[in-house]
Structure 1
């Protein structure tokens, strides 16, 4: 996602000069403020700048459809050949590699979003530990983290009317209860569940598309039990292999659950909130882009999202790294990520090759 954001700045602002720098920066700010994967929101906003509603719509479709078709095609192959030893061997290595990539992404996000802010680090640790312990994502905790950051860093004016003995910190215990959230044919009911679940997912993704991973794991694997741990890791790996936003993994998951219609509904569910969260506030956004309360709220939510990614890396790592070969693959992938600038799709392909070589069940 960060790479796509940088590419748009270089190509659209510097090279083609289709977008003014100020418009690009405002779009980036909106993408950070509203729920939704960062790169997709920025692309849709820039389309809005160029062509209003039609521009945003065309860009949104162009941004999503190619990756969706590739992921759907891989889903077809996965269902058709997923039981073959060679494919199991490839994903044996890929799963370990994906964990290293997620862990590295979480580390990079902490440097970008948290800096040296002690409050944001506290929210990061809170969300990371909670996600790792509960092995699920508590959505109300995201909101709680945003509210805590808002109250402490940019308290609204009405707080001045509270009693002198009341401080922003003293309000935190009143907010804590908000965190106690909910710990071949396909039926119409299942398809409705797919659409509703992925719509919720699209409405609660802040920043990097990887922030959706812990939320998807909690729903797809634990709540609905549509996929097992291995299938879920394979779905994340497929998104890493294909160009485009990481969040397009929902198309793969949707296909495994409900065929092509399930894939379409999952993609629509995730990206429709993203689209609406951009085009609806866009006309008025310039007026409020630097609003201190909005900025503080988003900082808190972003810190929580980063912590959730770190917690998800721990949870998924327990499933993907379970013997010496997978541990070596994960460690080697992490070292390569740190030392060299190798594109992630190439790394995923290399981990798949390593899986073919090291998989115990492949002779």
Structure 2
């Protein structure tokens, strides 16, 4: 234990194990719990250390809450602390989605389960639609003329991503990289930038994207790429997963994919843990383990590699511009995916009503939690199908 540390490594690990078991409410709520518990109440982490971790988590790709937890583990206990904090935080929700995956595989074909998820799917569409709207406001700006004038390039990236995702029904990874690099070159070009760098990055992307191998290796490569481009929110991974899992590889049906997102929302911890459920449906326990580890690996590596150089990174205008450009396209892809999913899932009047009520509840009753809405929607779906 380091001299400056006010807590043991075991205490830190147990805290994140508890948070991963009881922490509902999404990334914003989870980072709020960490501040209240570790900064205000226990005073394990200083305000400055917390702010640095939060800023790094926002700059680098990866699920926000998991990254902040890894950074907090890194502060006083370096790589071991980062590893144990991240592992403890993710483990409870991984176990939960694994158990739910077993139940789903056993009973998913039964009519009553299908009736429950009929309502759940509509609620999930409402939740991710509202989340994508909020992410757009937060990351790009309001839908006002002033915002379009000052951030017209980001809006152009956003609209282009919505259109491309909707038309092609695929996540365009190359578009993300080009947008980030182009925005960086326009806003704050770095000194080391040249044409050869662009070609190298694009060739690297193609090399990764076209990789083929056995099933587990293919899962690992796919989910690692998805994890490396989760900017803005855990839900930002949805367009990657939807096109890759449903459309390109045909691993899951549209309904199974929606069910996977719903399962992640009714369990504590990071929403990104939906990858564990998807991996289990694709290839059992090893599929779940591979998908989860591959998704969180980029987040872990970015955090431990960048943490020692945080101040230089945080003040680097080129890095900020690159992240802003990618984020605009990622959120646009999320909106495009929401439209595609809604078109196939909102199929009748009951599903329209459930989705609309979900949005209204989240807008006007801000204290209501998504798990309660999803469970209620499941009960409604069951009743509707029964009648």
Q: TM-score, normalised by structure 1?
A: 0.89
Cα distance in 2 for partners of 1:300, 1:140 equals 13
1:88-127 matches, cutoff 5 A: 88-115=114-141, 116=147, 117-127=151-161
* Equivalence for 1:27: 53
> 3-state SS of the aligned residue for 2:171?
coil
* Equivalence for 1:305: 330
> Deviation above 4 Å: which 4+ runs of structure 1?
180-183
CA contact (8 A) 1:100 1:330 kept: yes
Query: What is the Cα-based RMSD across aligned positions, in Å?
Result: 2.2
1:148 positional shift: 2.1
1:355 positional shift: 0.5
CA contact (8 A) 1:213 1:312 kept: yes
* Equivalence for 1:6: 32
Cα distance in 1 for partners of 2:64, 2:302 equals 12
Unaligned ranges ≥5, structure 2: 1-26, 142-146
User: Given the alignment, which residue of 178, 195, 204 partners 1:144?
Assistant: 178
CA contact (8 A) 1:37 1:205 kept: yes
1:7 positional shift: 2.2
1:287 positional shift: 2.7
The number of residue pairs the alignment matches comes to: 342
1:254 positional shift: 0.6
1:250-269 matches, cutoff 5 A: 250-269=275-294
1:202-242 CA distance string (max 9 Å, x none)? 12222211111110111111121110111111101101111
In terms of mean alpha carbon deviation, does 195-204 or 83-92 score higher? Answer: 195-204
* Equivalence for 1:204: 229
2:75 counterpart of 1:49: yes
CA contact (8 A) 1:31 1:207 kept: no
> 3-state SS of the aligned residue for 2:214?
helix
1:328 positional shift: 0.6
1:85-104 CA distance string (max 9 Å, x none)? 11101100010100110011
CA contact (8 A) 2:61 2:229 kept: yes
> 3-state SS of the aligned residue for 1:281?
helix
1:271 positional shift: 1.0
User: Given the alignment, which residue of 295, 302, 315 partners 2:320?
Assistant: 295
2:369 counterpart of 1:343: yes
Q: TM-score, normalised by structure 2?
A: 0.84
> 3-state SS of the aligned residue for 2:133?
helix
1:125 positional shift: 1.4
Cα distance in 2 for partners of 1:316, 1:306 equals 15
Going from structure 1 to structure 2, the CA distance change for 1:46 and 1:158 (only over 3 Å counts) comes to closer
Cα distance in 2 for partners of 1:207, 1:40 equals 13
1:118 positional shift: 2.4
CA contact (8 A) 1:2 1:208 kept: no
